[in-house]
Chain A
Amino acid sequence: MGDQGEARQRTRGRSGRRFAAGALAASMLLAVAACGDDDDSASDEDETAVENAADLLGPEDPAEGEPVRIGMITDGQTPNFDNRDEARSAEAAAEFWNERRGGVGGQPVEVVVCETVADPATATDCGNQMVEQEVVAVALSQSAVTEQVWEPINEAGIPMFLLQASGEELAADDETTFLMTNPTSTLFGIPVTTAEEEGADHIAFVTIDVPVALTQFESVGPTVLENAGMDYDLVRIPPGTADMTSQMGEVANSDAGVAHVVGNDAFCVAAFNGLAAVGFEGAITAVSQCITDATREGVPEGGLEGIRITATMAVGDTEDSAYQLYQAVMGEYGDDVEDVENALAMGGYTVMSSLLASLEGIEGDITPENVAETIRTMDETEYPGADGVTFQCGGSAFESLPAVCTNQSLAATLDAEGNPASYEAVDFTDLLEGL
Chain B
Amino acid sequence: MDHIASLLLGLGNGGVFAALALALVITYRASGVVNFATGAVALYVAYTYAGLRAGELLVPVPGLPKTVDLGQDLGFAPAVFIALALAAVVGALLYVLVFRPLRDAPPLARAVASLGVLVVIQGVLAIRQGTAPVSVAAIFPTDRWELGEVTILADRFYLALTVVGLALLLALGFKYTRFGLLTRAAAESQTGAYVSGVSPDRVALFNWMISAMIAGVAGILIAPVSPLTPTTYTLFVVPALAAAVVGRFEHLVPIVVAGIAIGMLQSEALSLAGRNSWMPQTGSAELVPLIVILLALVVVGGGMPARGGLVRQKLGHAPRPRSYTGPIVVGTAVGVVMLLITDGTWRAAVIGTFIAAIIGLSLVVVTGYAGQVSLAQLALAGTAAFTLSGLTQSWDVPFPFAPLLAAIVATVIGVVIGLPALRLRGLTLGVVTLALAYAIEAVWFRNTDIVDTAGARVTPPSMFGIDLGIGSGQEFPRIEFGLVCLVTLVLVAWGVAALRRSALGSAMLAVRANERSAAGVGVNVVRVKVLSFALASFIAGLGGSLLAYRRGLVTFDSFTAIGGLTLLSTAYLAGVTSVWGGLHAGILASSGIVFVAMDRWVDLGDWFQVITGVLLIFTLITNPEGIAAGGHQIAERWHRWRAQRRPAPEPVVAPEAQVAAAAAAEGVAATDGVTGRVDGAVALEVEHLTVRYGGVVAVNDVSLRVTGGAIVGLIGPNGAGKTSVIDAVAGFAPATGAVKLAGQRIDGLAPHARVRAGLGRTFQSLELYDDLSVEENVSVAAVGVRQAARAAAVERALNSVGIAGLGDRPAGELSQGERQLVSIARACVAEPKVLLLDEPAAGLDTTESQWLGDRIRDVRNTGAGVLLVDHDVALVLSVCDYVYVLDFGAVIAEGTPEEIRANRAVADAYLGAMHDASETTEASDSSGTSGSSDSSGTSDPSASSETEVTA
Contacts and interface: CB of A to CB of B under 8 A. Distances in A.
Interface of A: 12-27, 29, 37, 39, 77, 79-82, 119-121, 124-125, 127-129, 131-132, 145, 147-148, 151-152, 155-156, 166-170, 209-212, 214-215, 217-219, 233-236, 238-243, 245-247, 249-250, 253, 265-266, 269-270, 277-279, 292-294, 297-299
B271 A80 contact: no
B10 interface: yes
Nearest to B456: A211
A253 B606 CA distance: 45
A242 B560 contact: no
A24 B131 contact: no
B16 A233 contact: no
Nearest to A81: B131
Interface stretch (B311-319, B341-349, B409-417): B341-349
Contacts of B132: 37, 39, 265, 292-294
Nearest to B555: A120
Contacts of B271: 246, 249-250
B566 A24 contact: no
A140 B118 CA distance: 32
Interface in B702-727: none
25 contacts: A13-B345, A14-B345, A15-B608, A18-B563, A19-B566, A79-B122, A79-B123, A79-B230, A152-B473, A170-B454, A211-B446, A211-B556, A212-B453, A218-B453, A242-B16, A242-B17, A242-B222, A243-B156, A246-B271, A250-B270, A250-B271, A265-B133, A278-B153, A292-B132, A297-B135
A212 B456 CA distance: 12
Nearest to A168: B454
Given A245-B153, A298-B135, A121 B565 contact: no
Given A170-B454, A210-B556, A277-B142, 14 more contacts: A17-B608, A21-B118, A29-B557, A80-B231, A125-B345, A128-B472, A129-B345, A151-B472, A211-B453, A212-B453, A217-B448, A238-B283, A245-B9, A270-B225
B453 A215 contact: yes
Interface string B122-151: 110010001111110000001010000001
A175 B259 CA distance: 53
B165 interface: no
B557 A240 contact: no
A265 B130 CA distance: 14
B790 interface: no
Contacts of A236: 281-282
A312 B278 CA distance: 37
Contacts of A246: 6, 9-10, 12-13, 266-267, 270-271
B472 A12 contact: no
B560 A25 contact: yes
Contacts of A132: 344, 473-474, 476
Interface residues of B, number: 89
A376 B651 CA distance: 86
B229 interface: yes
B226 A17 contact: no
B596 interface: yes
Nearest to B455: A147
Contacts of B225: 242-243, 270
Interface string B558-586: 10101101100100000000000000000
Interface string B4-27: 011001101100110000000000
B189 interface: no
A145 B599 CA distance: 20
Contact of A16 (B226, B344, B590): B590
Interface of B: 5-6, 9-10, 12-13, 16-17, 115, 118-119, 122-123, 126, 130-135, 142, 144, 151, 153, 156, 222, 225-227, 229-232, 234-236, 238, 263, 266-267, 270-271, 274, 281-283, 285-286, 344-345, 348-349, 352, 442, 446, 448, 451-455, 472-474, 476-477, 550-553, 555-558, 560, 562-563, 565-566, 569, 590-591, 595-596, 599, 606, 608-609, 612
B354 to A, nearest CB: 13
Contacts of A215: 453-454
A147 B454 contact: yes
B446 A209 contact: yes
B556 A279 contact: no
B232 A233 contact: no
A234 B118 CA distance: 34
Contacts of B552: 124, 151
Contacts, number: 264
A279 B122 CA distance: 35
B565 A19 contact: yes
B553 A151 contact: yes
Nearest to A233: B274
Contacts of B5: 249, 253
A147 B13 CA distance: 33
A156 B473 contact: yes
B645 to A, nearest CB: 46
A245 B454 CA distance: 29
B609 A21 contact: no
A219 B452 CA distance: 10
Contacts of B13: 241-243, 246
A294 B356 CA distance: 39
Contacts of A151: 472, 552-553
Q: Which of B132, B156, B477, B560 gathers the greatest number of chain A CB atoms within 10 Å?
A: B132
B442 A294 contact: no
Contacts of A148: 455, 551, 553, 555
Contact of A19 (B118, B476, B555): B118
B236 A214 contact: no
B896 to A, nearest CB: 70
A217 B274 CA distance: 15
A244 to B, nearest CB: 9
A169 B454 contact: yes
A168 to B, nearest CB: 6
Contacts of A21: 118, 231, 234-235, 560, 562-563, 565-566
Contacts of B455: 147-148, 211
A23 B562 CA distance: 9
Q: Which of B222, B263, B562, B608 gathers the greatest number of chain A CB atoms within 10 Å?
A: B562
Contact of A15 (B130, B133, B144, B599): B599
A206 B23 CA distance: 32
Contacts of B454: 147, 167-170, 211-212, 215
Nearest to B136: A298
A12 B551 contact: no
A292 B131 CA distance: 12
A242 B227 contact: no
A277 B609 contact: no
Contact of A211 (B286, B448, B563): B448
Contacts of B556: 25, 210-211
B566 A18 contact: yes
Q: Which 5 A-B pairs have the closest CB atoms?
A: A240-B235, A298-B135, A243-B12, A246-B267, A131-B473
B696 to A, nearest CB: 48
Q: Which of B131, B550, B558 gathers the greatest number of chain A CB atoms within 10 Å?
A: B131
Nearest to A269: B227
Contacts of B283: 238
B827 to A, nearest CB: 47
A344 to B, nearest CB: 11
B135 A269 contact: yes
A278 B142 CA distance: 11
Contact of B231 (A79, A217, A294): A79
Contacts of A13: 345
Nearest to A39: B132
Nearest to A213: B453
Q: Which of A15, A82, A151, A246 gathers the greatest number of chain B CB atoms within 10 Å?
A: A246
B46 to A, nearest CB: 12
Given A14-B599, A148-B551, A236-B282, A120 B557 contact: yes
A50 B17 CA distance: 50
A128 B475 CA distance: 9
A24 B563 CA distance: 10
